[in-house]
């Protein structure tokens, strides 16, 4: 059997541990960046949704206004009916 160099093994393990800590720190940083990006996209989505709801409400009101009985009566009178 080869003699075990505990100091060399310890140094190798410490180096590996340091690398793992650096990778973990990078993963945490990337995750935080993604979280911030996701939050920004959610805010943008909510703003677009609010705009779409306003436009939809305006369209419904306009359709209701155009289909109102008073408007239909006005059209008939204008057409000579």
Q: Which residue is it, tokens 């909510």?
A: 46
CA 22/CA 14 separation, integer angstroms: 12
Q: Residues 6-21: pLDDT tens digits?
A: 999 999 999 999 999 9
Q: How far does CA 5 lie from the centroid of its chain?
A: 53
Q: Is the dihedral of CA 67, 69, 70, 71 positive or negative?
A: positive
Model pLDDT, residue 56: 97
Res 68: pLDDT: 82
pLDDT per residue over 31-70, tens digit each?
999 999 999 999 999 999 999 999 999 999 999 988 887 7
Tokens, residue 14: 């410490």
How confident is the model at residue 65, as a pLDDT? 87
């Amino acid at each position: 059997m080869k003699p075990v160099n505990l100091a060399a093994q310890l140094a190798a393990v410490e180096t590996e541990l340091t690398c793992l800590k650096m990778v973990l720190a990078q993963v945490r940083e990337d995750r935080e960046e993604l979280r911030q990006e996701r939050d920004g996209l959610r805010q943008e989505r909510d703003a677009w949704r609010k705009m779409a709801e306003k436009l939809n409400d305006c369209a419904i009101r306009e359709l209701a206004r155009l289909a109102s009985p008073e408007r239909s009566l006005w059209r008939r009178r204008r057409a000579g009916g």
